[in-house]
Structure 1
Amino acid sequence: MSVLDAVGGSVTPGAGGSVMHLVVGPERHGVVIFARWLARETAGAGPVTHLNYTEALFGPDTTSAAQAFAELVGGLAGRVTVTLHDLPDPGDEPGRYRRRAAGFRRVVEAVDGVCVSSEHEHRRLTALLGDAAGRVPVQVIPLPIAAAEVVPPVRRPRPDGRVAVFGYIYPGKGHAELLGEMAGLPGDIGVVALGRAADGHDDLVRNLHGDRPFEVTGYLPDADLGRRLREVAVPVVPAPSVSASGSLNTWIAAGRRPLVVDSDYGREFATDCPHLVSLYRPGRLGEAIRAALDDPARTWLDRPPPAARCEAAVAGAYRAFFARIAAS
C-alpha cells in the first residue's frame, strides 16, 4: 500500500499528464474542499505538484502526520509545494506547541515552496521555523471568497432569533466561549452550530448543551447550507486563536457580516476587507449580540468583497506562485 492509499487521496492531473494536485482526505473536510477548488482552478498551471496540509488529514497525531507527508513527498519527482493550514499557536500548552511546531518544520523541509493564508500565519510560520526561516520560499495567498451577493433588505429572510457558528465543532472553535459570553443574555436566545463535531469530539457537543437552547445541525449539503446561513439572526466567528478562516469566508459568501473576535487575524481581515466583518473584544460579545439583534442590518453586507479576495484573484496568485517555483 502506498502512502497516498494509506492516508486517502486523489490525483488531479495537470497539463501533459503531469501530476498537479494531490488531494488528501475526506471530501467534506474544509481543507479538502479548498484543495479541490484549487485543483479545478489551476490545473495545468505548471510542472509543480501541490498538496494541502493539516495534521488531521495525514495522521492521528502531529508526528505521524508529518512523517506520512514527508514519505509521500519523498516519492514524488520534480518541484513540490504545499499550502499549510491550522498552523501551531504559540499560546497553546508548551508541549503541544513544540510537538506541532516540529511536525510543521518537517513538512516545510520536505517541499520547495510554501503558501499560507494570512500574514498572521506567516508570522507564526517564521517563529516556528526559527533559524530555518527563509530557506524555502513562502507566499501569502488569502483563502478565496466565493461570489458574494449583497442581499437587499426586501429579500432578507426573517431572522430566527438565534446566534450561529458555522463549521466543525472542536476545542478552540469558540462554541464554549460563545456560550460563556452569552450568560447575561435572555435564556430564550438560542445557539445553533451549523455543522457537526469533528472526529473524536462528540463529548464536546454533550458538554455544550446546557440551560440555553442549543442545536447541532450535523453536516449540511450545499442546498441547505445557504438557507441556514441566511436565516439565523447573528452569525459569529468566535474562535479565539484563528489564523485564517474558511468559515468566515463562507458567511461572507452568503451575504452575511459576521461578528468576529478581535484577534490578530480578525484585525488583519478587517483592515484588508473593510465593512465585511464587525469586530468585538473578548468579554464584550454579549453586547455585540444585543446590538445585532436590535439592528439586524448590522449582520448583512452592504458592499461586495474586494476583488483581491475573490476566487479569480486567488487562483491567479496561485498560478503565479506555481510558475515561480517551477522556474526556480
Structure 2
Amino acid sequence: MVLMLMLGLGLPLAGSSGELPAPPYKTLDLRALLGDRKSPETKIVFLGTGTPILERNTAGQSIAIIVRGEVYLFDAGHGALNNLSNYDDGKVFPPARTPAGYMGTPYMDKLFLTHLDSDHVLDVPEFLLRFWIYGRARPAQVHGPEGTAALVQGVLQGNRTWIDYRLAAPRTKNQEGISVRISEFSAPGLLFADENVRVSSFPVVHGSWEAGKTWGYRVETPDLVISITGDYSYRLTPTLRESLAGSDIVISEIMSEEGVGKLPRIWRDYMLDAHTTEDQLAALMDEVKPRLLVGTHVLPHGTPRDAMVARMNERYGGNFILAEDNLVLQ
C-alpha cells in the first residue's frame, strides 16, 4: 500500500529589534528533572495532551520520542500533528526541507497506537497522507491492536483518487513513502526494535474495550526507560505496577478526583471504569517509583489544573509535572 502527508509552516518573524521571537514550544531540562549529569540522548515531545473534550489550544493525544534523529510517534489525536509547524527551527525535530522550501518531515514514519479511541487516532490520515508529501521516502509503519489495519486501509481507500492524482503528477513519484506496513498485535511483548529503541506492549483496562484492544508501551532508549500508559483505569488494572516497574519516566493519564466526584452517577461510574484519578495515580506511583512522572490526557471535569497539580503534590512524594501541548523534555 502507499500514502502521503503535508504540514502547515509558520516561519518565525523578526521583531523590531531584529531578534527572532522565542520558539512556540516550551522546553524543560530533562537532565535537571532526572538529576543526571550527562545530557540525555532522548527527547520527548508532547504534540497533543487532550481528550475527546474540545479545549482551546489543546490537541488530541500524541507523544513523540526522538533518539539520534529518529522519531517514534505514539498516538495521533486530532490536531496534534499540525503542532509540528511549531518546530521549524530544527532544534527539536531533525531539520529538513522539501524541494519547494517548506519544512520537511521525512522522519515521520513510525506510529504506535495505544487503542482506537478517536482522540488517539483522528490524525492517522495526517500521518499517512501529509507526511508523504512532506518528504517521507520509506514505507510508513503503523503498530496497533486489532482494528488498526481496517483504520489504515480505510484511509488509503478513501483517498485513492487523490493518491493516484499525486502519483501521476511529475513532482510526486515517490511510491515508497505512500506505502504502509501494518502490524496488529494481541499479546504483550516486544513489537519493534532498531539501533535506537526497543518498544514493547503491556495490557491495560480501559472502560468497556475488550481485552487485547487497549495497551500501554514501554520504550527502552540508550539512556532511559519510558512507559506510556495510554488510557486506563487503575482500579481495574491490578497488574499495572509490574508492567511499569523499572521505568525512569512514566507518562500517565490523569483525572481530577474532585471533578469526577461531582458528575452524575452514570458518568462518574463510566469515568472511573475508564480513567485514573490523582489519588489512584499517586498510590500506584508510590509503588512504581519512577524518576519522573508526567501527567497527560488531563480530565479536570471543571477542576483547575493548578488544583490537580497541588493534589498530586500532596499525595505523591515523587517528581511530577503536568504536560501541555508543545512541551519538550530534552
Fold similarity call, TM over 0.5? no
Tell me which protein shows more helix as a share of its residues. Answer: 1
Greater RCO structure (CA 8 Å; 6+ sep): 2
